[in-house]
Amino acid sequence: MAKVIGAVVIDTEACKGCDICVHACPTDVLKLNDQVNGKGYNPAYPANHAACTGCKICALVCPDMCITVYQYKPDKVA
């Protein structure tokens, strides 16, 4: 069975940089950006995208609903 791989898309303008997703991620994908967004927060971004499994844990704990999670199984989808 091929490994499931995932990707996250973060709405950087909605993110308030609370850091909860960064600590929740089991594969250390996310980090806070040094650049601030329009509101002056440091938004999260997927620094280590290759490790993402699409487990949704970051999205489940995100209080501002700014994370969309995608999952892909290489051998399943043509």
Residues that bind other proteins (CB under 8 A): 2-3, 5-7, 9, 14, 16-20, 23-24, 41, 46, 49-50, 52, 54, 56-57, 59-74, 77
Nearest to 16 by CA among 39, 33, 45, 35: 39
CB 59 to other proteins: min, Å: 4
Nearest to 20 by CA among 70, 67, 54, 71: 67
CB 47 to other proteins: min, Å: 12
Q: What angle do CA 22, 28, 34 make, to 5 degrees?
A: 55
CB 5 to other proteins: min, Å: 6
